[in-house]
Structures are given as structure tokens and as C-alpha cells.
Copies of this chain bind each other. A is one copy, B any other.
Amino acid sequence: MLPALPGAVVEEIAAFGRYAASRGWVPATSGNFSRRVDARHAAVTRSGIDKGAIAPGDVAVIAIDEPVPPRLSAETPLHLARYRSDAAVGAVFHVHTVAATVLSRLYEREGVVRTDGLEMHKAIGVRTHESTVEIPIFANDQDTFALAARVEARLGADPAVPGYLLAGHGIYAWGATAADARRHLEGLEFLLACHLEERRLR
């Protein structure tokens, strides 16, 4: 039997949704968010809803190890794979930003966006700004089971960066808590925005 959906989990997801909508990160009902409920279950947003106005009925509790039920986002497998691969992952947020979309295409062949020397590296878990961060890029795929397998195989047991890009699609980020996942997403988006601006000046 599935555990009940905790009200606090809905509120964390809805609060992130309101924030993401205010930033323009979830246009056209895009994006999807999830939060671990316990060792074997996660709460995930349903498909086609306005992510800026998430209500309890818009979030479903599902088993991490079982097939994805209907009416959930086609991208649910990408969320579940993260929870299965790493017991420390407590929240996964996916949004669509212009910077993530454009840079993920520009560097799709390289498979990575590189940023170096930025203080913001510390927000995504790097010890010092004197470092190079490589944000992985994966080719987009409507077969999200196959895509999730490719993502997890490359990320491995201890990913250097708490997020990745899907080419022409958007950005995923995660963390132990909803606050950590949001901090990682904001940090990665800032790195991408700076990189994009530096490209414009070339």
C-alpha cells in the first residue's frame, strides 16, 4: 500500500512551483518536481498542470521501484532513477530556462558546459572558486526509461555536480532537501546565465 501524501511535502513542492513560475522557468505547464516521502516512495507532480498553482490533487505518491502510473509526467522515470541511485537524494526539480535550452544545444556534441573560476561553484558543493565545473548534457529522448538509464550510467555513484541538462529541453537538479535542490538549481542557472553572457560578448 502507498503511504499518505504529507501536507508538508505538497507545500514544499507548491512553494517551489510558485517561485519557479515567478522566474518564468515553467512556461506552458512545463517542468516537473518531486520529493522523497520515504525510502521506497516519492511524491511527483501530475502532467499538464500550472506549476505556479499546485494543489494537493496535483501531486501523487508513487513507488520508486514500480512502473509509473498513468496521468504522471512522461519524465517521471528521470526522477525515480535519481531516488533509486542515491538514497541521499530527497528532492528533484526540473525546469525549462532559455539559458539551459540554448547552451544545452550549443554544447550537445561536447556533452558538457564548462564554467571556471566562479564563486558560485561553492553553491553546488565545490569547495573553492578555483575550480572547473562540468555540467553534463544528455541528448533528449522521448523514451525516458532509456534516457534515465543513460543518465544514471554516466552520473555514477557520486556525481560531481548535482544537476544535468537535456539538450533542447531543460535542466534537472537535486538535493537532500527541497531547499538544497532549489539552491543547486539556482546556482547552476546562475552559472549558465554568466556563461551565456560571456558567449554573447565574444
| B119–A187 touching, CB < 8 Å | no
Which interface residue of A166, A197, A199 has the most chain B CB atoms within 10 A?
A: A197
A24's nearest neighbour on chain B, judged by CB, is B23
| A101–B169 touching, CB < 8 Å | no
Contacts of A140 in B (CB 8 A): 117, 119, 129
Residue from B123, B189, B197, B198 within 8 A of A29 (CB atoms): B123
List residues of A (103-119) whose CB comes within 8 Å of B's CBs: 105-106, 117-119
Q: Is A186 an interface residue (CB 8 A)?
A: yes
A169's nearest neighbour on chain B, judged by CB, is B119
Q: Mostly helix, strand, loop or mixed at chain A's interface?
A: helix
**Size range of the chain A interface in the assembly:** 35 or more
Q: Is A96 an interface residue (CB 8 A)?
A: yes
A127 CB → nearest B CB, Å = 8
Q: In the complex, given contacts A98-B194, A99-B197, A119-B170, what are 10 additional A-B residue pairs having Cβ atoms less than 8 angstroms apart?
A: A27-B186, A27-B190, A30-B123, A98-B190, A98-B193, A101-B120, A101-B190, A102-B197, A102-B198, A118-B169
Chain A contacts to B: CB under 8 angstroms:
23-24, 27-30, 50, 96, 98-99, 101-102, 105-106, 117-120, 123-124, 128-130, 140, 142, 166-170, 179, 183-184, 186-187, 189-190, 193-194, 196-201
7 inter-chain pairs at a CB distance below 8 angstroms, sorted by A residue, are A27-B190, A28-B183, A30-B119, A50-B179, A96-B120, A101-B118, A105-B117
